[in-house]
Structure formats: C-alpha cells, structure tokens
C-alpha cells in the first residue's frame, strides 16, 4: 500500500448515498437523509438516505418480483457464476477506494481493512461462485418401482442485516451464498457504516446482476429493519449483531410468516493460556492482537484471558508490554495498529464498562482512558483488567471494545469451567504444547470456533457459527449454503 494514495483518497469528498431499488438509485420516499460522522475526526463525511417503511416495502416488492419471474434463479449455473466472478473482479479492482471509504466510515485501521474488507469480500464471492455449479440434488435409496429425488431450491427472498464493524466482509458472507443459490436479497446495512457496502452493491449491478435481485435500503433499524423483519414476503432473515436485536428479529418472525432467522450474535470468547504454551512471548503478542485489533470491535475477539496461575503475573506483564507497543491513532495511517472506536456512544459504553469492572474489584493494569481527544475522533487506549472473577460483569457481558478481562485458573477442569461460564459460545483458544490437552480443551469448550496456539485467521473454507446466545446457523464454508436452500422431495412411481 502507498500512503500517498491513501492520503489522496481520504481528501476526496464522499457523495450522498441513496437506496438501491430495482436497479436504480432512489431517494427516501419523504426525502429525508442522515448525516454520517467519521469516527476519525468527528466531522461530517456525507449523508445517506433515511429509509422509511415505504422504502423497505418497495425494495421487498422488487426482490419478490425478481424471484417470482426467475430472472436470476433460472439462469444456468454458469451464467450466475460469470456474474459473481465479475463482481469479485470489480471489488478487487477498486479495493483501495473501497477500503479507504470504509475506514472513513467506521474507523478500522487501513492495514487490516484492505485485506479484511474488499480482499475478503472478493474471495468470498469467488468461493461461492466456484461452488454453485457443484451443488447437486440427491437420489434416495428406494426400492422397486419408486424413484425418490431430493431437489435443492432457492428459498426466495433473503433479508440481510449487516453490522458496522466489517460490513463488506460480513456482507459477502451473507450475500454471496444467497445469490449463488439463485435467491433475491434485500440488504440493510448498519446506519453506523453503510458506505462501502452500498458501493459494493452498486458494483454487483455493474457486474450484470439483474435489477431487483439485490436491493439495498439505508436507515434506522427501528424503521427499515423492523419492516424487513415483519414482512410476509421475506423467506429468510440473516443477521450479525447484538443479542438484543437478534431477539427482536425472532419476535418479528413469529409475528409474521415464521420466516427462518439465522443469527450470529455476541461473544465473550475465552483465550486459555497454559504454562506449557510453546512460546509465551508469541502467545502474549497474539493475545493482544486478538482483542485490540480494530479496537476490539470484532465478534470473535478473545476478550477473556484465562491464565494458568503459575505464570499469571509474568504473562500479564508480557501482554501489557505488547498492548502498550501497539500504536493507537489515525486509522488511515499505515503504521496505526489500533484505529478508532466506531462512535462516541460506543466509546462512552466502553469506558462505562471499565469503570464498572474497577468498581467490582478489577485492577486496571494498563489503559482505561480515552486517547487523542484533540483530534475530535473516538479513540481508546487498549485496556487490561486483572482480578476479574468469573461472575463479574466484565467476564459476562460483551464490551465490543479494546478491553481484556484477565482471570487465573489452577487446573484444566477449572479452566473449562470458567471458559463455559457465560451465555455465549462463539470463539475461543487454547495455548499448550500438550496434544492431548489441546484436544480435551477444544472438545470441552462450548463454542463454534476454537483456535490452538493461535488466534484468528480462519478462512472461508471453515464455518463460523455460535452456540448458546451467540446464535445459530453458520457463515462461511459450504455449510452456509444450507441457509439459502429448500429441500424438496419428489416421490415418483415408475
């Protein structure tokens, strides 16, 4: 990457974004817009359409019409593949523009964003484009004059509600398999970070996706998100975000057409470090990165550090050194390792969580304060709190910020008990040289993803899904396709 190119792009004005409905740019039905503030400096960046229920209903109607006339669903697999591949190519060709736009909107450090956002999105779209013509139906093992066939059909209209932390990456996890299987999609980006995802949707049309197959409406979740959730014409709803919103979406499904709802929600992921870890210095550096990159605004972040008591003090010291060495600042600088908090409201919540942790007996060993107030942006020091008991608020509730809770343990059994002592089950890790111990801990932690002697980095070939109140269903891998198909049995007498 070239810092000069990044600086040139950041200086460019950002146009206002309208809805994308039936292949056209459409203003809100009442003409209303929302101001977009950059977390980098707190300044107005642009405006987006403030969607109304009427706007969302129009987008759903467009998606339903596109599905019913089969303009996309009945295209041969090779034709759908060609469009999706072109879409990935366009994203990749415009990757730096997309990454800078996204960073200006949500504050992720550019060194992470370029790979994690357009890079990941393009790779995900290519993955499902390659897979779509390899998904076959089945022949059942019937006998005599009966032929049993199992068809795999698109579900219809998919509503996709995407969070603000990695909008392009997570958006692609939903959009790519849904579109690959022939569905139509109505996209609702987060009002806190819509820009790069809206531009990505525009590129899908440029790639040849028929009008109406992908519609996108910006605005507040309480308005357009609710309309999407309550619609009788949406067949599947997919969402990544908070548990509170996830519950509301399930209620909407129950109140409407019993649409299937797949949720990837919060986490309080345990990062378990044993004294026999192969390289404790490396473990400390990866531990710090696993919670502090993107300012802790990562669903799978290792926000609970469980350390074997015999190495607790020495290991915490190493993590503190690693955290203090990470540069917090302007996320559009290539040497920045921790970018901005997404909003002032999120920063305030983060600081409140730290204050509560201290009030409950935790000790702040580094961080705990706002940084760089003179910039006008939202920045927070990487924060480590020791003495956190398993039942403390900081050990139980997701912060979604750069805050690490540290708890010691004595035995394998105690480590597992503490690791599982939350309502969440999204990710986790274990650091050990013992093969048997690694297998026992992986098997024993109730979670969707476990890392061994690393944290993060799992690619699109493996699923990401949670257990407990971390959600249901899976993003990534071929398993994600199951959310976007219906199975139909054909029972034939020959």
Sheet with 485-493, side-by-side order of all strands: 138-139, 146-154, 485-493
Query: For the chain, what is the mean pLDDT?
Result: 98
Choice among 191, 264, 308, 318 that is catalytic: 264
Packing angle of the helix pair 77-93, 120-131 (nearest 10 deg): 170
Write the CA distances from 362 to 124, 125, 323, 332, integer angstroms: 41, 44, 18, 34
Burial class (CB in 10 A: 0-12, 13-18, 19+), 479: middle
Q: What average pLDDT does this structure show over 62-83?
A: 98
pLDDT at 73 over 80: yes
- Residue-wise pLDDT for 7-34, tens only, equals 999 999 999 999 999 999 999 999 999 9
Task: Report, as an integer, the average pLDDT of 275-300.
Answer: 98
318 a catalytic residue: no
Over 90: is that where the pLDDT of 49 sits? Answer: yes
In angstroms, the CA 286 to CA 313 distance is 17
What CATH number should be reported for the domain whose range is 270-459?
3.40.309.10
Confidence of residue 1 (pLDDT cuts 50, 70, 90): confident
- Please determine, for residue 441, whether its predicted confidence score (pLDDT) is greater than 80: yes
Mean pLDDT of 280-307: 98
Q: Average pLDDT, stretch 442-471? A: 97
d(CA 283, CA 316) in angstroms, rounded, equals 11
pLDDT in tens, 94-139: 999 999 999 999 999 999 999 999 999 999 999 999 999 999 999 9
Pick the CATH number of 3-265+471-491 from 3.40.605.10, 3.40.50.450, 3.40.30.10, 3.40.1480.10: 3.40.605.10
pLDDT of residue 143: 87
**What integer pLDDT is reported at residue 229 of this predicted model?**
98
Average pLDDT over residues 291-318: 98
Confidence at residue 400, expressed as pLDDT on a 0 to 100 scale: 98
The string of pLDDT tens digits covering residues 198-257 is 999 999 999 999 999 999 999 999 999 999 999 999 999 999 999 999 999 999 999 999
Residue 258 burial by Cβ neighbours in a 10 Å radius (0-12, 13-18, 19+): exposed
Segment 257-285 mean pLDDT = 98
Angstrom distance (rounded) from CA 102 to CA 368:
27
Give the span between the Cα atoms of 457 and 240, in whole angstroms: 19
What does the pLDDT look like over 328-374, one tens digit per residue?
A: 999 999 999 999 999 999 999 999 999 999 999 999 999 999 999 99
Tens-digit pLDDT profile for residues 27-47: 999 999 999 999 999 999 999
Average pLDDT on 466-480 reads 97
Q: Write out pLDDT tens, residues 389-400.
A: 999 999 999 999
pTM, rounded to two decimals: 0.98
Domain boundaries, the chain: 3-265+471-491, 270-459
List CB contacts of 256: < 8 A, sequence separation 6 or more: 229, 230, 231, 232
Give the pLDDT band (50/70/90) at residue 386: very high
């Amino acid at each position: 990457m070239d810092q000069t190119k990044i600086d040139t792009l950041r200086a460019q004005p950002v146009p206002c974004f309208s809805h994308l409905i039936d292949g056209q740019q459409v203003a809100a039905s009442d003409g209303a817009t929302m101001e977009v503030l950059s977390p980098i400096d707190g300044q107005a960046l642009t405006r987006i359409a403030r969607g109304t229920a009427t706007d969302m209903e129009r987008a759903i109607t467009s998606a339903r019409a596109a599905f019913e006339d089969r303009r996309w669903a009945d295209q041969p697999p090779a034709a759908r593949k060609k469009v999706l591949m072109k879409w990935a190519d366009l994203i990749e060709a415009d990757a730096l523009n997309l990454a800078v736009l996204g960073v200006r909107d949500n504050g992720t450090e550019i060194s992470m964003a370029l790979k994690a956002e357009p890079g990941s999105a393009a790779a995900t779209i290519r993955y499902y484009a390659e897979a779509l013509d390899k998904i076959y139906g089945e022949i059942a093992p019937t006998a005599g004059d009966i032929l049993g066939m199992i068809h795999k059909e698109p579900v219809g209209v998919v509503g996709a509600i995407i969070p603000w932390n990695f909008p392009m990456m997570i958006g692609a996890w939903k959009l790519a398999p849904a579109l690959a299987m022939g569905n139509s999609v109505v996209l609702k980006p987060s009002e806190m970070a819509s820009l790069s995802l809206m531009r990505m949707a525009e590129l899908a049309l440029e790639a040849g996706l028929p009008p109406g197959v992908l519609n996108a409406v910006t605005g507040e979740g309480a308005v357009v998100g609710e309309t999407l959730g309550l619609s009788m014409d949406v067949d599947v709803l997919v969402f990544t975000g908070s548990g509170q919103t996830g519950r509301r979406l399930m209620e909407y499904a129950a109140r409407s057409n019993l649409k299937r709802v797949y949720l990837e929600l919060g986490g309080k992921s345990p990062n378990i470090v044993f004294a026999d870890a192969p390289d404790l210095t490396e473990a400390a550096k990866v531990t710090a990165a696993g919670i502090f990159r993107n300012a802790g605004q990562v669903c799978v972040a290792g926000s609970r550090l469980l350390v074997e008591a015999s190495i607790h003090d020495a290991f915490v010291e190493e993590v503190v050194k690693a955290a203090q060495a990470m540069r917090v600042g302007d996320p559009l600088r290539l040497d920045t390792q921790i970018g901005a908090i997404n909003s002032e409201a999120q920063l305030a919540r983060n600081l409140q969580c730290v204050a509560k942790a201290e009030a409950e007996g935790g000790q702040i060993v580094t961080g705990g304060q706002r940084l760089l107030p003179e910039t006008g942006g939202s920045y927070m020091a990487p924060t480590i709190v020791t003495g956190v008991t398993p039942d403390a608020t900081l050990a139980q509730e997701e912060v979604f910020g750069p805050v690490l809770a540290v708890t010691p343990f004595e035995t394998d059994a105690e480590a597992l008990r503490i690791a599982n002592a939350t309502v969440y089950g999204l990710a986790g890790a274990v650091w050990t040289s013992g093969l048997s111990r690694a297998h026992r801990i992986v098997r024993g932690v109730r979670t969707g993803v476990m890392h061994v002697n690393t944290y993060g980095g799992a690619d699109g070939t493996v699923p990401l899904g949670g257990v407990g109140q971390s959600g249901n269903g899976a993003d990534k891998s071929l398993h994600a396709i199951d959310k976007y198909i219906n199975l139909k049995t054909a029972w034939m007498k020959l």
